[in-house]
Amino acid sequence: MTLRGTFWGTVCGLALTAHAGVASAQEALSAPATGGNGIKVGNGRLHPYFELETRVDSGVGYFGRTQGENYPGGVSPDLSGEVALRFRPGFKLDIPSQRLAFNLNANLDYVLFTGLMTPGSKAASHMEGAADLSARLNPEAPLSLELSDQFVRSDRTRTAAIAAGILSLYNEARVKMPWKPGGGAVEVTPNVAYAVEFFEPLAAQAPVDCGEGVCDPVRADRFDYGNLHLGLESRWRFLPKTAFVLDTGVDVRRYFNDGGPDAQVLRAMVGVAGLVSPKVAVTAKAGWAQTFGDVSGGTVIAQLEGTYLYSQTLTFKGGYLRLLEPVAAYGTFRDDRGYAEARALWGGKLTVRVAGMVDFLSFEGTRGDTVVTVDAGPEYQFRPWLTGAFGYTLSKRSSNVDGGGLNYTRHEGYARLAVTY
C-alpha cells in the first residue's frame, strides 16, 4: 500500500464517518503504511516491521529525590522528565476474502528509561504493546458478522479522572452484525462489546500534594473496571453520498474494587453524515444521554464535524463533540471538546500533520478539568520499506482538584524510524 493510498483512504473514511467516541492517544494502532511485498499467507500478506523511537518526555512519572533536592517524603510534587528509547517490533497481517476476511496488527513496545534526566528512573522501564484483530464473515453479503478485539498496554488511559504516572492495560472484545436489506441503502448494525481496564503505578511513588485518590498512582488499581456496551447503529442513504444516521447504546460500568459509584449511561443521537459538495463532508448529530443507578441525570449530547478537501494533497478537519461517559471515582463526566486538524501530502512522500484539541471535562460534583493537546510533525517515505518521522506533542492539564498528576504541562519530542518488509 502506498502512502498516497493511505492518505486518501483516511480522508474518505473521515468524510463518511457517522460514529464518534472519546478519543485517546492509545485508541488507534497503526503499522507503518509502506513496505515491501511481505510474506505470502494464503490469499493475504504478512508484513513484519520494526520501529525505533527516541522520545524526550517532560512528564513520565513520580520518582524519588535527586542530588541537591529535598522534597517532603522524598518525592517530587511534579512529574519527572526522562529520555526514553522505544523498541517496537510488530507485524501486520491482511487476508482478504469474500467469505472470511481477517486482519491482525500487533506489536510489542519496550520502553527503556535512560536515566539521563532523572536518576533512578531506569527501574521504571517497562513493556507496552498493542493488538487489533478483526474477522469479518461474509463481508459483502446483506447479513454479515464482525468479530474484533483491541488490546493496549500503555502509559495513557481512557479513564479521564485518573492522573498521570500510571500504566493501563485495556482490552475490548466486540461483536457486530451489519444487515443491509434492500440493496444497501439501509444498514442496521446491532453490536455488543465488553471492555476491561486494569491499572498499576508507573513508579512506586505518590506526589506529596495529592489530596484525593484520583491523583495517587500507587492506589490506581482500585479503579479497575469492566464495561458492558449494547448498541444499535443504523444508516439510511437517502442520497448517493449522504446518509441519515441513528446511534443508540447503553453502557453498564462496574468496578472490581472501590473505584467509585457504578453507572449506567443510555445515549441516543440522530443526524446526517456525508458529502454536501465534492470537497466538503459534514457530520451533524444531536441527542440525549441519561444516567441511572447510583448517579442519575441527563444532558444533551452532540457532534458537529466538517472536512474540507482543499486540494488533492491538502485537507482540513474540525468540529465539536459533547459526550456523557461513565468514569472512575465520580460515576460520570461530561466532555465538551473542540478539535481541528490539517494534513498535507507533498511529492507523494512527505506527509505533514498539525492537530489541536481542547477538552472541558465536568465531573459529577464540583470537579472540572481543562485539557489542551497539540500534536504536530512530518513523516517522510525514504524508500517503500523505510519511513522516518519526528514531531512534538504538548499536553496541558489544569484542574480545580489539587495534585501534580492533575495539574501539569507535558512536553514530548520524538524521532522515529520504521522498517517494514
**What are the tens digits of pLDDT across the range 311-332?**
999 999 999 999 999 999 999 9
From residue 99, give the alpha-carbon distance in Å to each of 40, 148, 187.
19, 16, 19
Q: How far apart are CA 260 and CA 391, in angstroms?
A: 37
| Residue-range domains of the chain with CATH | 3-420 (2.40.160)
Task: Give pLDDT, residue 74.
Answer: 41
Please tell me the distance from the alpha carbon of residue 329 to that of residue 258, in angstroms, as a whole number: 8
Q: Which pLDDT score, from 0 to 100, does residue 237 have?
A: 93
Flag residues of the chain having pLDDT under 70. Answer: 1-36, 64-77, 203-212
What is the CB neighbour count within 10 angstroms for residue 259? 25
Which regions of 138-262 does DSSP assign to beta strands (E)?
145-154, 166-176, 186-201, 225-239, 242-255
Q: What is the pLDDT of residue 213?
A: 74
The C-alpha cell at 184 is 444497501
Element housing 15 (H / E):
helix 3-16
Dihedral sign (CA 155, 157, 163, 167):
negative
Closest CA to 420 of 376, 391, 378, 379: 379
Rounded distance, CA 4 to CA 383, Å?
A: 14
Quick one: cell of 309? Answer: 478537501
